[in-house]
Amino acid sequence: MADPVFRTARAEDLDALVQLLADDALGATRECPSYPLPTSYNRAFAAIDADANNELIVAEQDGEIAGMLQLTYIPYLTYRGSWRALVEGVRVADSRRGQGLGRKLFEWAIERSRERGCRLIQLTTDKQRPDALRFYESLGFVASHEGLKRTLAN
């Protein structure tokens, strides 16, 4: 198996990315990987792609998209006006899990966040994903805060 290549997502990757997002029990309930994709995915991709403080990253391995995550860089007044990176939309293809790809993807994302001058990197994980929580803790992430979310009606 070849080493993964990490790169910025391209518009032609969108179908594969939505397939990755939908390829687990939680994602299957909230994503719509139909063809053609709902236009909302194209609008979201265009907004992410146009925003210098957002990077949608793919892990390409053996000629296919094997993983992904989104990094959002956020300026804060706290910590003396520092920046932080927010990690969202993390997925590794089911066939690639347990082979170290997720760890390599996160090591890349942590280094990229350092390059962007971030003081910290943060993420949330669904409480229904205890394996993901253990994985993030093995990377040095600490459950230091209680996170809350509220769904807004469209």
Q: What is the mean pLDDT of the chain?
A: 94
Whole-model pTM: value is 0.93
Better pLDDT: 33 or 49:
49
How much is the pLDDT for 34? 87
Span 57-115, pLDDT tens digits: 999 999 999 999 999 999 999 999 999 999 999 999 999 998 999 999 999 999 999 99
Domain ranges of the chain: 5-138
How much is the pLDDT for 29? 87
Is 90 exceeded by the pLDDT of residue 27? no
- Using DSSP's 3-state secondary structure scheme, residue 86 falls into strand
Amino acid letter, residue 83? W
Fold designation for 5-138: Aminopeptidase (3.40.630)
- Strands 83-92, 64-75: pairing is antiparallel
Is 80 exceeded by the pLDDT of residue 1? no
Is 90 exceeded by the pLDDT of residue 136? yes
How much is the pLDDT for 89? 95
